[in-house]
Chains A and B, each alone.
Chain A
């Protein structure tokens, strides 16, 4: 028995060392804890796609297309680890961790990125106004837009300084452009972006005078380098094939997220210290061992969070902190039982074994409800658009309680057994138990 115990003790030590290493060094490619948006700041958006205009049967493709376009656009921002996912049949989830320019990101995603060419004509009211320039192709009247651009626009320095946004028409676009520029020679052709005039670097609308018939390629002059580059990237990313409306949004500034990490670390640390103090004062030596087991517990749980990885949210840390308090429950159950066994006159060794064996059913039964509740919460968190915190809480609490059963049963017992047969075991005061006394 002692030899087997020593073996288990060594395994526990190795596990602990492994957990600590996993926390300090990057292991299995995991460099850091994965933090949720509320902790590192960022954007969480859910868009509802309007599929009413989409041909029946091709809804899934439309959504996938939209996701592909959003991915391309997000690349412009250079976000690390963005999440762009389909949610249900007609929703898209976009998560951008660590993004501080929330407004820019949303604009990029929400942009229709459709340039529309308009001509200056007399409107119905007799006043001059910009109306979409149209031409007829294949018997249909069509508006000239960037929808007919090939997706290979680029920015190039202009001859007279400034930059040019160069684009090429596709087959249909080139027919439209030929007709339109043909009839507008000497007249202005304005460019509108999402219904607003596209403004140049000089804050004036870009509306060049048509000099010649344009059939295959064209250029937009007057944009700043930054704007031209962004617009070019947007155009190349393509158009989102379905209209998207935001239905859920959560934005947290990275500064606030950092505050939260600080605060929850403090809460966790203070919680763990209080629990240890209590256990040591109340249970003496076993309390010290339970505290050691708690340190083991903390390291292992955090290592599991990092390696799986579990995305840590504020609620998730709440679940972890709560599980610290609950983790000692199994120890308390065992120690109380041990004290009782001790009182009936058993030796320390016998009391330890009896305490663990008898407390086991209570530990198992009492943790089952927590597991049931965690399961239901995890499920609820997964089906709800706003359910991320609930899911985080359920995951961390579940892992915490599962590991706590292991630490109480294996780690604390192993540590206690190490004391059996040593002179310390005779000092019953250390166990706050008095043999044979009621």
Chain B
């Protein structure tokens, strides 16, 4: 039988490190907002294949010459396809830009164009924030309801929420790093993905907690740690199998659909992995820590005089 709860301090230490890394990356490399949040225009253009390969540097230089110093350029796919992001373009701006680029690099086809005015971007930020707040309240209400039958609703609820926050911090932290390295931006689908992850992570935690409750009522052991571990082992294959099947489909999305919902699929992938981890290794083990009042051991590694005193 696996002993998950016995290694609780290792798991919790890993998570503390992950959360720390997440928060540091958020501070050092802030998330890059996409045009839905910051306004601007984005177009995917495809230069005729027969023309020699267009150099990304030259394209950037040309855009700077045309007065788009802040333009961001990404090569998408294999051919001469580029994603160009600029400030908001009017119809005339766009026509002028396209004909200038065509004159320099050969004929081009516009595959996609997306433009958001500052006003709409402002509203999007505002309403997305409201939606996230409403979602948070809704999920808190749900947790209160779902955990009402637990022996100590406050403990269970709090541990579930900590696991949730852990998942969000890890996802956001990784996205900050992806943003810094690969210029990934966050958009509405990112927010959607994060909310979906929250729902998913809570699901897993509920299933595990439900089993702990059941085993407590059945009185399988007087030792709380044994009860938790048994429940974890019993639900382990369910948790892993469900996550695996979901990871399969998300991987398929990530690999085959590509750029357009890349961010979204990535959020789900990271979120499912961390959500599974946190519902198995964080939320239930925290219950034991709380039950036994072992909080001091969580900060043992900190050079705090008080923690040292307690340790001694």
Cβ-defined contact, A390 with B192, below 8 A: yes
Residues of A close to B244: CB separation below 8 A:
278
A380 touches B131 (CB 8 A): yes
List of B residues within 8 angstroms of A365 by Cβ: 146, 206-207, 210
B191 surroundings in chain A (CB, below 8 A):
390
- Cβ of A377 within 8 Å of any chain B Cβ, yes or no, is yes
Report the nearest A residue to B265, measured CB to CB: A318
Given known pairs A275-B249, A278-B248, A318-B253, the reply for A366 and B91 (CB within 8 Å) is: no
If A267-B252, A279-B245 touch, whether A397 touches B196 (CB-CB below 8 Å) is yes
Query: Is residue B161 within 8 Å, beta carbon to beta carbon, of the partner chain?
Result: no
Cα–Cα distance between A156 and B302 once the two chains are bound (Å): 89
- The winner among B95, B110, B241, B249 for most chain A CB atoms within 10 A is B249
Do the beta carbons of A332 and B241 come within 8 Å of each other? yes
Interface residues of A in 309-343 (CB under 8 A from B): 314-315, 317-318, 321-322, 324-326, 328-329, 332-333, 336, 340
CB distance from A302 to the nearest CB of B (A): 15
Give the distance in Å from the alpha carbon of A368 to the alpha carbon of B139 in the complex: 10
The interface size of chain A toward B, counting residues with CB under 8 Å, comes to: 73
- Whether the pair B253, A321 counts as a contact (CB closer than 8 A) is yes
Which residues from 86 to 121 on chain B have a C-beta closer than 8 Å to any C-beta of chain A?
Answer: 91, 95, 109-117, 119-120
- Is the CB of B54 closer than 8 A to any CB of chain A? no
- In the assembled complex, the Cα of A102 lies from the Cα of B44 at a distance in Å of 14
Contact B124 A260 (CB under 8 A): no
Report the bound CA distance from A89 to B186 in whole Å: 29
Contact status of A106 and B91, CB under 8 A, knowing A321-B252, A336-B237? yes
Q: Are B120 and A386 in contact (CB under 8 A)?
A: yes
**Measured CA separation A324–B192 after assembly (Å):** 18
Does residue B188 face the partner (Cβ distance < 8 Å to A)? yes
| Known contacts A249-B114, A369-B203, A373-B195; is-contact A274 B210 (Cβ 8 Å) | no
Give bound CA distance, A260 to B253, whole Å: 11
Q: Main secondary structure on chain A at its contact with chain B?
A: helix
CB distance from A385 to the nearest CB of B (A): 5
Q: A267-B256, A321-B253, A376-B131 are in contact. Are A250 and B113 (CB under 8 A)?
A: yes
Nearest CB of A to B44, in Å? 8
The answer, yes or no, to whether B13 is at the interface (CB within 8 Å) is no
Residues of B within 8 A of A370 (CB): 199-200, 203
B238 within 8 A of A: yes
The CA-CA distance from A166 to B264 in the complex, in Å, is 56
Within the complex, what minimum Cβ distance (angstroms) separates B218 from chain A? 12
Q: Residues of A contacting B252 with CB < 8 Å? A: 266-268, 270-271, 274, 321
Judged by a CB distance under 8 angstroms, whether B288 is at the interface is: no
Q: Is the CB of A384 within 8 A of B192?
A: no
Q: Contact between B138 and A332 (Cβ–Cβ < 8 Å)?
A: no
Distance of A329 Cα from B237 Cα, bound (Å): 11
* Shortest Cβ distance from residue A430 to the other chain B in the assembled complex, whole angstroms: 18
B109 to chain A, nearest CB (A): 7
Kindly state whether residue B250 has any CB partner on chain A within 8 Å.
yes
Q: In residues 73-110 of chain A, which contact B (Cβ within 8 Å)?
A: 102-103, 106-107, 110
Complex contacts, A393 vs chain B, CB 8 Å: 189, 192, 196
Contact B242 A274 (CB under 8 A): no
- The CA-CA distance from A365 to B257 in the complex, in Å, is 32
Q: Are B131 and A274 in contact (CB under 8 A)?
A: no
Contacts of B189 in A (CB 8 A): 315, 389-390, 393
CB of A370 to closest CB in B, whole Å: 5
Asked if residues A247 and B119 are in contact (CB atoms below 8 Å), the reply is yes
Q: Cβ of B112: which chain A residues have Cβ within 8 Å of it?
A: 250-253, 256
Known contacts A336-B237, A384-B127, A385-B123: does B138 contact A372 (CB below 8 Å)?
Answer: yes
In the bound complex, how far is the Cα of B145 from the Cα of A365, in angstroms?
10
Min CB–CB distance B246 → chain A (angstroms): 4
Residue from B142, B234, B235, B264 in contact with A318 in the complex, judged by beta carbons closer than 8 Å: B264
B199 touches A372 (CB 8 A): yes
CA distance A264 to B188 in the complex (A): 20
Q: Do A314 and B207 have beta carbons less than 8 Å apart?
A: no
In the complex, chain B residues 242-273 whose Cβ is within 8 Å of any chain A Cβ? 242, 244-250, 252-253, 255-258, 260-261, 264-265, 268
A372-400 contacts to B, CB under 8 A, are 372-373, 375-377, 379-380, 383-387, 389-390, 393-394, 397
With A275-B249, A322-B246 in contact, is A368–B142 under 8 Å at CB?
yes
Given contacts A369-B203, A385-B120, A386-B188, contact A332 B127 (CB under 8 A): no
The answer to the question of B167 belonging to the interface, with a C-beta cut-off of 8 Å to chain A, is no
Measured CA separation A373–B242 after assembly (Å):
19
Determine if A362 and B249 form an interchain contact, defined as CB atoms under 8 angstroms apart.
no
**Complex formed: what's the CA distance from A266 to B256 in Å?**
7
Q: Is A46 an interface residue (CB 8 A)?
A: yes
For the complex, what is the distance from the CA of A252 to the CA of B109, rounded to whole Å?
Answer: 11
A38 within 8 A of B: yes
Distance to closest chain B CB from A65 (angstroms)? 23
Query: For residue B91, which residue of chain A has the nearest CB?
Result: A106
B171 at the interface (CB under 8 A from A): no
A328 to B246, CA, bound (A): 9
Residues A228-273 near B (CB distance < 8 A): 245-253, 255-256, 260, 263-264, 266-268, 270-272
Nearest CB of chain B from residue A195's CB, rounded to whole Å: 13
Q: Give residues of chain B (198-224) contacting chain A, Cβ–Cβ below 8 Å.
A: 198-200, 202-204, 206-207, 210
Residue of B nearest to A371 (CB): B199
Please name all residues of chain A whose beta carbon is closer than 8 Å to the beta carbon of B17 when the two chains form the complex: none
The distance in angstroms between the C-alpha atoms of A38 and B258, with both chains bound, is 14
Query: In chain A, residues 108-139, which have Cβ atoms closer than 8 Å to a Cβ of chain B?
Result: 110
* CB closest chain-A residue, reference B146: A365
Among the interface residues B114, B247, B265, B268, which one has the most CB atoms of the partner chain A within 10 A? B114
List the 9 shortest-distance A-B pairs measured between CB atoms, nearest first. Answer: A271-B249, A325-B246, A380-B131, A325-B249, A373-B199, A267-B256, A271-B252, A247-B117, A366-B203
- 8 A-B contacts, Cβ less than 8 Å apart? A264-B256, A275-B248, A318-B264, A329-B242, A332-B241, A370-B203, A379-B134, A397-B196
6 more contacts with CB within 8 A, not counting A361-B210, A376-B134, are: A249-B113, A267-B256, A274-B252, A329-B246, A365-B210, A380-B127
